[in-house]
Amino acid sequence: MTSMGLRGSSDRSMLILTSLAGGPKHGYALIQDIEEFGGLTLGAGTLYGCLANLEQAGLIEPLPSDDRRRPYRITGAGSALLEERLEESRRIARIGLARIKRAAT
Amino acid sequence: MNWTRLLQKILRCYPPSWQARYGDEMRALVDDLLDGRGRARWTLAAGLAFGALKEHVHPTVNARGGLGAANVQQRLAVMGLVALPVGFAALGFVCDTVLVHDGAVVGFLIGCWYAIVLTRASFGSGHSTWEPWIVVVVGFVVLAWVLTFGGAGASPSAPSYFGQFVLVLGGALVMRVGFGAFLGRQQARELEPHVRSLLTGAWAAALIATAVLFASIYTSHRVAAQQSVAVCHAPVSRLVAGSGPGS
């Protein structure tokens, strides 16, 4: 899957990237963090499906670990994609809010 | 209920390549999640079971443990495993009323298709530049021609030659859409070893079954042809015998 393949198709992937933007995390830490800031509880199967896709797209990479819990970190390409997507979301949110205000007045 | 054991069993349902790549991490995560409070365990089990199924149908990790789009082939190989016996059985089931030997022809050609793909995957070199599904179409034309006009004689219940051709060509095109893009040599190499073994067994079984079917069809047609010849010849023989010198 290319990074373009993730565009607009996976909010969960964006949540994972957002979480990893704060620093490397393993699976359980990711689930807890996303639950905290996103209000969404990811299942283990869903999480690892997304992690595999993100890794395949080169947006995240695993870090070496002696523990069974392998941490992941966001790559440069992942950061760039996340920034682009968030900017896009901000622009859409700004337009939407402006229109709602206009309609109300 | 022992949730740990159940979840470990579900984790073992993931494809071997996935387990090799993510198995330890997922087991650690499941242990952590089971220790966590307020989490519905049946939801976790259902999520894992769905994830395992999804990974079989739409694999992410290939047989070499790498991540790549080539794994897309695997899901069609799995579909092929299901489609081959089901399709063959369906054709065999209706062969009494539709046509006698199309089931054999299609099963045989699908077997050839898999044989070519898997053989090329194991021993071939270079990239495939032709479509294996052409084997199905060309092979049908040849085999149907041989069976229909090559001496065995057409079955009374069989549709016309053109009708059979259209039927199987349509089937081949459907297979092309569904399977064609997924059965390249390189893609077959990416199959899980157990999937490749199952496929090999499937096409071998199809070849044996169709060989038997061919033989029985040919024999029955030949016997029928001989009987009809005998029926036609009987009056002539009687006539010849009656007009002989002894009459």
Contact A54, A13 (CB under 8 A): yes
Domain with residue A18: its CATH number is 1.10.10.10
Report residue B103 as tokens. 């089931």
Residue A9 — pLDDT band, cuts 50, 70, 90? very low
Q: What was the pLDDT predicted at B115?
A: 56
Which of A28, A44, A51 lies closest to B48 in CB terms? Answer: A44
Residue A93: which pLDDT band, with cuts at 50, 70 and 90? very high
Distance CA B206, CA B198 (A): 12
How much is the pLDDT for B151? 45
Which residue range(s) make up the domain with A43? 3-104
In sequence order, which residues have a C-beta less than 8 Å from that of residue B160 and are 6 or more positions away? none
* B26 interfaces chain A, CB cutoff of 8 Å: yes
Question: What is the pTM (predicted TM-score) of this model?
Answer: 0.50
Predicted ipTM?
A: 0.81
Give per-residue pLDDT as tens, B111-142.
566 555 555 554 444 344 344 455 555 665 56
Residue type, B7: L
Q: Which residues of chain B have pLDDT under 50?
A: 68-71, 96-100, 122-132, 150-159, 176-185, 244-247
**B185 close to B107: Cβ distance less than 8 angstroms:** no
> Using only C-alpha atoms, what is the Rg of chain B?
26
Q: Compute the distance between CA of residue B159 and CA of residue B167 in angstroms, rounded to an integer.
A: 10
**Domain count of chain A?**
1
CB contact residues (below 8 A), chain B span 87-146, against chain A: none
Domain extents in chain B? 3-57, 80-235
Place of tokens 């393993």: A26
Mark yes or no for CB contact A45/B52 under 8 Å.
Answer: yes
- What are the residues facing A73 on neighbouring strands? A61
Virtual CA dihedral for A41, B25, A73, B59, nearest 10 degrees?
A: -80
Q: What are phi and psi of B238, to 5 degrees?
A: -65, -40
Compute φ and ψ for A83, nearest 5 degrees: -60, -45
